[in-house]
Amino acid sequence: MKGSFRTHSGSSTSFFQRFKAPRTATLVLSIVLGTSLLAGCSSGSSEPQVGSAESAANVNKEGFPIVKEKITLSMMGPDVGMQNWKDMPAFQEMEKLSNISFKFENPPLDSFETKKNLVFASGEYPDIFYASSLTQADEVNYGSQGILLPLEDLIDNGYAPNLKKVLDENPAIRKSITTPDGHIYSLPVINQQSIWYRSPMWYNGDFLEALNVKEADLPKTTEELYDLLVRFRDEDPNGNGKKDEIPLASVKLDDVRSWLLGAWGIYGEDIYNDANGKVHFARTEDGYREFLTYMNRLWSEKLLDHETFSQTPDQKKAKGASNQLGLFQDWHAYFTHGGKPTTKDPMFIPVKSDAVDKPAVAIHPGLSTGAFAITESNPAPEASLRWVDYMYSYDGAMLFDKGPEGLIYETVNKEDHTKKWKPLPSEYNSREDYRGTLTPNYGTPAPTLLSPDLQKGLKEDFDLWVDKQNEEKILAYDPQPPFPILYLTPEEQSEISSLRADMDTYIQQMEAKFVTGQEPLSGWDNYLATVKQMGSDRIIEIYQAAYDRWKNS
Amino acid sequence: MAAVIKESRSDRIFLLLNYVYLAIALICVLYPLVYIVSASISSPTYVNSGEMWLFPKGITFEGYQRVFENQSIWQGYANTILYTVVGTLVNLLVTIPAAYALSRSDFVGRGFFMAMFLVTMFFSGGLIPTYLLVKNLGLVNTMWALILPGAASVWNIIVARTFFQSTIPKELQEAAHIDGCTNLRLFWKIVIPLSAPIIAVMALFYGVGHWNSYFNALVYLNDESKYPLQMVLRQILVLQEMTGSGIGAATSGEAAMAMNQRADSAALLKYAVIIVSTLPIIAVYPFLQRYFVQGVMIGSVKG
């Protein structure tokens, strides 16, 4: 009896073993089939019919409410943990105006990317993506599969009058949100307030005061900058009797690189175009070699933080808090110093080398794509588009930037849009905390038009001071965006990704070696040859083609 | 008993080296613990600048204060306890009977079932198909998504099976059968009472697993009020990292300000949260530890 059991179980094992290989193959096959089936399902139609007579009939083309009969749509967007979206006054007010209500799905900001990919994979899409940071690859990919609806026809047919006006006034924006197949799959954040391509660099005001350097005397050339950094190092500007000053602070050079590269006429740290429409790759330019030489000089004289390549942003910040840093990058200087906003620390003035007449200064393109999209499951694309179009008007942008009138601000002058702050309710620590409970446009890339008018009357002394610094130290230098926002075709995208995988690592390592002197600058030709061999010319070629396509579209 | 055998020279050298080695091992294990405890009551500035490296500096209890005020941490705590208790019960309910059945040599098709179990150890559907399955079962955004898909761990079944094979003698089973005992009764009345060590070990394995897991929650849960503690902790840490490096990419001054605020508060919170979230496991461990050694060792040595 027992024996027969054993034989049985034994034989079943060997049965299994004998068929293990084919079984595995079947498994693999079925997974492959399953996946392709899945992909097949979702790519049903490549040119979907956008909207229908029925969904369009319910929509008013002008004014409010947007729909005659109340509809409910689903929306996915990132939660920053301040307030549930359904309880936000901005959404509630908008629902009253538009007659459109939403069912929200809000994964937290930090896991949004994962959730977004799962949603695309699972085939059950929200009707609307809001503040969703869709990547350009997402748009090209899911757009061509028909999951994201092309919006240009609806825009041109009067369902987005505000946006259309902006696009007509700024053809460059339209070019930048149109994918190579000629469709617009996502709506952008248009930010007319933004200036900084990278957060600026700031001088430590205490150091300057101790050394008696006036703002007007701040360095304007690389040599003057060098001299000032030497003084930071040698003259104990923090006055603690120790030589613990770090003249120039950085984390892996990512923060200071683009500012200093401008001294040699380079607009961006990666791909950029010059005034003649020629595309350059910064890391193979002669100016980049000069930059490396300069940084190596700062390094060897202990002017550049020797922990540059090992420290975290937090560690850099901690040094700032103990008043050790002379020149550093951050959004505002007081983020690094700690404490309250102060106008004591002046902004870095772009410096120039002998090689150029004026420094190259980059400015933010004022646009980021992928903020809003409508999916194929949306029963009312026309209404959805009209809904979001409100965000591109002053009133709508205001509603979603600061919440409904009368909570955090009130209007002083309706004509010129002057406003003033209302007193802060006592349960909130700061105005920003309060704002985070009013609207979803808080630390998220939401579809909107941020015009300078939005802040009118709301700027405090510190903001006005920053504006003035911008005026004098960035806008006065005829800045330009390094490279327009544009889409690559999927083929171009994948070629770039595969070329850059190794190249970027190599470039990063070599930069550190050149700067720290581990590799002498005589090795530059070698470096250049290696990068070229890794395909830098091809990368320039691809971006040149994309740039030309963008320019001529 | 005064006549102790004198230790030879080599014995003493051995002993000395032994102590040195153990001391090094102790430092390796203890240092991170002390560091985190110290960091949790130090000012973040000192921690980030590296000035605080062993003992607390600039002592502040603000981190703990914030933890105790933070509603989502306590919500996460409650959720984690619920998921751990229910999850571990389900795990035991599945694992122990399966392991016992597979340990019986007179179980028909034992080899076949064992092989089927083993397949799942080496092959899995992958994230997306698994997600689709869980979704179609209607488990997304419920606690069962964290409990049911991982209810049976094959590895643990094997460990438990080996334990049963080596500690429950076949004679015991035969004697029980002769006295007219059914299989079910044998299992409940004889096998289970004899298996306290392995049940404790399994409970610890599974329990710690549930306590520490965040990935399933990340994938399957949408509702923040359902997040387990580790997910809340992760949120704090990730946000700090994102904001630390991401302020440069902020779209507006207001966003940058918001991010900066969060980074500051996360720096203050993070070590305190680590302490608060690991304390229960550290507290439970000594009580289960003796079973732990017994259970796993029996399984491994005699297996």
Question: From first to last of its 303 residues, what are the pLDDT tens digits of chain B?
Answer: 455 677 788 889 999 999 999 999 999 999 998 998 898 888 877 787 777 888 888 888 888 888 888 888 889 999 999 999 999 999 999 999 999 999 998 889 999 999 999 999 888 888 888 888 998 999 988 999 999 998 999 999 998 998 898 888 888 888 998 998 899 999 998 899 888 888 988 998 899 899 999 889 988 988 888 899 988 888 777 766 665 554 444 456 666 776 777 777 777 788 888 888 888 888 888 887 777 666 555 544 443
- Show the domains of chain A with their CATH numbers: 53-194+368-398 (3.40.190.10), 201-362+502-528 (3.40.190.10)
B191 in the same domain as B109: yes
Residue B4 lies inside a defined structural domain of this protein: no
Residue with tokens 């984390």: A251
What pLDDT score was predicted for residue A359?
A: 93
Residue B7 lies inside a defined structural domain of this protein: no
B45 in the same domain as B84: no
Q: Give the chain B residue whose CA is nearest to the CA of A440.
A: B255
A:463-492 residues touching chain B, CB 8 A cutoff: 463, 466
| Contact residues for A519 (Cβ-Cβ < 8 A; gap 6+) | A510, A513, A527
**Residue A524 at interface with chain B, using a CB cutoff of 8 Å:** no
Instruction: Identify the CA nearest to A257 among candidates A294, A207, A228, A230.
Output: A294
Question: Which residues are paired to A100 by β-bridges?
Answer: A71
Separation CA B13–CA A46 (nearest Å): 79
Of A12, A313, A338, the CB nearest to B109: A12
Separation CA B134–CA A473 (nearest Å): 56
What ipTM was assigned to the predicted interfaces of this complex? 0.70
Tens-place pLDDT, residues A266-313: 998 899 999 899 999 999 999 999 999 999 999 999 999 999 999 888
Q: Is A29 exposed, middle or buried (0-12, 13-18, 19+ CB in 10 A)?
A: exposed
What pLDDT score was predicted for residue B297?
A: 56
Instruction: State the smallest CA–CA distance between residue B220 and chain A in angstroms.
Output: 9
- B247 to A106: CB separation less than 8 angstroms, yes or no: no
Of B49, B112, B219, the CB nearest to A319: B49
What residues in B contact A13, CB-CB < 8 Å? Answer: 111-112, 114-115
Quickly list H helices, A379-455.
381-389, 394-402, 431-438
Instruction: State the smallest CA–CA distance between residue A121 and chain B in angstroms.
Output: 7
**Residue A498 at interface with chain B, using a CB cutoff of 8 Å:** no
For B74, left (φ over 0), alpha (ψ -120 to 50), or beta?
A: alpha
What residues in A contact B125, CB-CB < 8 Å? Answer: 31
Q: Give the chain B residue whose CA is nearest to the CA of A368.
A: B251
Q: Give the chain A residue whose CA is nearest to the CA of B267.
A: A314
Running DSSP on this structure, what letter comes out for residue A196? B
Q: Which long-range contacts (CB under 8 A, 24 or more apart) does A457-465 make?
A: A457/A412, A457/A413, A457/A417, A457/A418, A457/A419, A457/A420, A458/A409, A458/A419, A458/A420, A458/A421, A460/A341, A461/A343, A462/A341, A462/A342, A462/A343, A463/B253, A465/A343
Q: Give the chain B residue whose CA is nearest to the CA of A402.
A: B254
What pLDDT score was predicted for residue A356?
A: 92
**Residue A36 at interface with chain B, using a CB cutoff of 8 Å:** no
What are A142's two structure tokens? 């899911």
- B248 to A198: CB separation less than 8 angstroms, yes or no: yes
Of B135, B224, B252, the CB nearest to A122: B135
What residues in B contact A191, CB-CB < 8 Å? Answer: 251-252
Residue B272 lies inside a defined structural domain of this protein: yes
Separation CA A478–CA A464 (nearest Å): 21
Residue with tokens 């060590």: B197
B151 in the same domain as B120: yes
Residue B105: domain span:
69-302
What pLDDT score was predicted for residue B234?
A: 82
Residue B198 lies inside a defined structural domain of this protein: yes
Instruction: State the smallest CA–CA distance between residue B178 and chain A in angstroms.
Output: 17
What pLDDT score was predicted for residue B296?
A: 58
**Residue A415 at interface with chain B, using a CB cutoff of 8 Å:** no
Of B115, B218, B242, the CB nearest to A114: B218
**Residue A335 at interface with chain B, using a CB cutoff of 8 Å:** yes
Instruction: State the smallest CA–CA distance between residue A255 and chain B in angstroms.
Output: 8
- B222 to A107: CB separation less than 8 angstroms, yes or no: yes
Instruction: State the smallest CA–CA distance between residue A419 and chain B in angstroms.
Output: 17
Q: Give the chain A residue whose CA is nearest to the CA of B72.
A: A81
Q: What is the largest CA-CA distance in chain A?
A: 101
Handedness of CA A281, A284, A286, A289 (dihedral sign): positive
What pLDDT score was predicted for residue A122?
A: 83
B197 in the same domain as B159: yes
Query: How remote is the C-alpha of A148 from its chain's centroid?
Result: 21
B45 in the same domain as B162: no
Residue B6 lies inside a defined structural domain of this protein: no
What pLDDT score was predicted for residue A83?
A: 84
Q: Give the chain A residue whose CA is nearest to the CA of B134.
A: A122
| Helix pair angle (B62-69, B253-302), 10° resolution | 90
What pLDDT score was predicted for residue A36?
A: 41
- A16 to B109: CB separation less than 8 angstroms, yes or no: no
Residues belonging to chain B: 303
What residues in A contact B132, CB-CB < 8 Å? Answer: 38, 121-122
B130 in the same domain as B50: no
Q: Which uninterrupted H or E stretch holds A171?
A: helix A171-177
- Ramachandran angles phi, psi of A431, nearest 5°: -65, -35
- Tell me if A482 sits within 8 A of A268, measured CB to CB: yes
Q: Is B288 exposed, middle or buried (0-12, 13-18, 19+ CB in 10 A)?
A: middle
Separation CA B196–CA B291 (nearest Å): 8
Instruction: Identify the CA nearest to B145 among candidates B239, B47, B233, B79.
Output: B79
Q: In A141-157, which positions are buried (b, 16+ CB within 10 angstroms) versus exposed (e)?
A: bbbbbbbbbbbbebbee
| Contact residues for A36 (Cβ-Cβ < 8 A; gap 6+) | none
Of B46, B110, B248, the CB nearest to A9: B110
B219 in the same domain as B185: yes
Q: Give the chain A residue whose CA is nearest to the CA of B234.
A: A110
Residue B2 lies inside a defined structural domain of this protein: no
Residue B190 lies inside a defined structural domain of this protein: yes
Residue with tokens 């980030």: B48
- A436 to B258: CB separation less than 8 angstroms, yes or no: yes
Three-state DSSP class for A279? strand
Handedness of CA B173, B176, B180, B181 (dihedral sign): negative
Angle at B190 between CA B184 and CA B194, to 5 degrees: 130
Tens-place pLDDT, residues B38-83: 988 888 777 877 778 888 888 888 888 888 888 888 899 999 999 9
B176 in the same domain as B224: yes
- The bridge status of strand A279-281 relative to strand A271-273 is antiparallel
- A432 to B125: CB separation less than 8 angstroms, yes or no: no
How many Cβ pairs within 8 Å bridge chains A and B?
A: 143
Domain count along chain B: 2
Q: How does DSSP assign A333-385, residue by residue? A: HHHHH-SS--S-SPBPPPPB-TT-SS---BB--SEEEEEEEEBTT-S-HHHHH
Chain B contact probe: residue of A28, A80, A110, A427 with most B CBs at under 10 A: A110
- Tell me if A485 sits within 8 A of A370, measured CB to CB: no
- A315 to B48: CB separation less than 8 angstroms, yes or no: yes
- A114 to B219: CB separation less than 8 angstroms, yes or no: yes
| Weakly modelled stretches of chain A, pLDDT under 50 | 1-48
pTM of the full structure = 0.79
Angle at B151 between CA B147 and CA B156, to 5 degrees: 135
CATH code where residue B229 lies: 1.10.3720.10
Running DSSP on this structure, what letter comes out for residue A50? P
Of B45, B109, B261, the CB nearest to A318: B45
Angle at A292 between CA A287 and CA A293, to 5 degrees: 95
B190 in the same domain as B47: no
B238 in the same domain as B177: yes
AA identity, residue A533:
Q
Distances (CA, A) of B243 to A314, A330, B34, B261, B300: 10, 12, 27, 9, 47
* Other beta carbons less than 10 A from residue A470's beta carbon: 17
- A321 to B261: CB separation less than 8 angstroms, yes or no: no
What pLDDT score was predicted for residue A32?
A: 43
**Cα within 13 Å of Cα(A16), Cβ side:** 16
Residue B3 lies inside a defined structural domain of this protein: no
Chain B contact probe: residue of A6, A7, A8, A12 with most B CBs at under 10 A: A12
Chain B contact probe: residue of A1, A24, A111 with most B CBs at under 10 A: A111
Separation CA A148–CA A143 (nearest Å): 5
Separation CA B82–CA B88 (nearest Å): 10
- Tell me if A104 sits within 8 A of A86, measured CB to CB: yes
- Tell me if A404 sits within 8 A of A411, measured CB to CB: no
Handedness of CA A24, A27, A32, A33 (dihedral sign): positive
Q: Give the chain B residue whose CA is nearest to the CA of A21.
A: B119
**Residue A189 at interface with chain B, using a CB cutoff of 8 Å:** yes
B186 in the same domain as B278: yes
B74 in the same domain as B53: no
- B49 to A13: CB separation less than 8 angstroms, yes or no: no
Instruction: State the smallest CA–CA distance between residue A236 and chain B in angstroms.
Output: 20
Chain B contact probe: residue of A85, A335, A464 with most B CBs at under 10 A: A335
What residues in B contact A193, CB-CB < 8 Å? Answer: 252-253
**Residue A194 at interface with chain B, using a CB cutoff of 8 Å:** yes
Chain A contact probe: residue of B116, B119, B257 with most A CBs at under 10 A: B257
